[in-house]
Amino acid sequence: MQTLFVPMAEDDLEAMLPLYNHYVRESTATFHTHEVDLETMHAMLLPDYPRFGSWKVVVDGKPSGYVVLNRYKPREAYDGCAEVTIYLDPAYPGKGIGQAALEFVEYRARERNFHSLLAVICAENTASIKLFHKQGYVECAHHHEVGKKFGRWLDVFCYEKLLE
């Protein structure tokens, strides 16, 4: 299986929209409770600040997800930190694509001189927790019942990794 990471472009947003909306409808991986539109995807995947970025995950020639280095907070003091987000086609679980995406985005983060990376993960998303933990991220916060989706209050874990 060949996996490539291609810089996200405006033309890619339409292909990413149904993937993300699948997670909106079917999971607690995102705390959006209603499907999003292309304008929202644009804001999520094509950040205005050039130091951050997003990449389309292409598996065997097929767009199969995305990985993002996003701004943690819109204040300059935080600009050495980025939040990592990964969404993959649910047809590819356990095939190493998530690990490859995380390794790729960490490489890009180091290239761009980031000092630390964060991941904000719903406590129910055990596959993502396991992935980030395996890559050396450590739990740095546990927020109790901060989001409500599908009629349930949900906890969120924050994981961090210092890049040296």
Per-residue model confidence as pLDDT tens digits over 49-66? 888 999 999 999 999 999
How far is Cα 127 from Cα 51, in angstroms, rounded to an integer?
28
Q: Is the pLDDT of residue 47 over 90?
A: no
Q: 43 lies in a domain?
A: yes
What range defines the domain where residue 65 resides?
Answer: 3-115
**Residue 140 vs residues 37, 40, 86, 126, 149: alpha-carbon distances, Å:** 32, 29, 19, 16, 23
Residue 67 belongs to some domain of the structure:
yes
pLDDT at 121 over 90: yes
Residue 22 maps to a domain? yes
User: How far is the C-alpha of 131 from the C-alpha of 43, rounded, in Å?
Assistant: 26
Alpha-carbon gap, residue 55 to 12, rounded angstroms = 10
pLDDT at 63: 94
Q: What is the CATH number of the domain that holds 71?
A: 3.40.630.30
Single pTM value for the model: 0.94
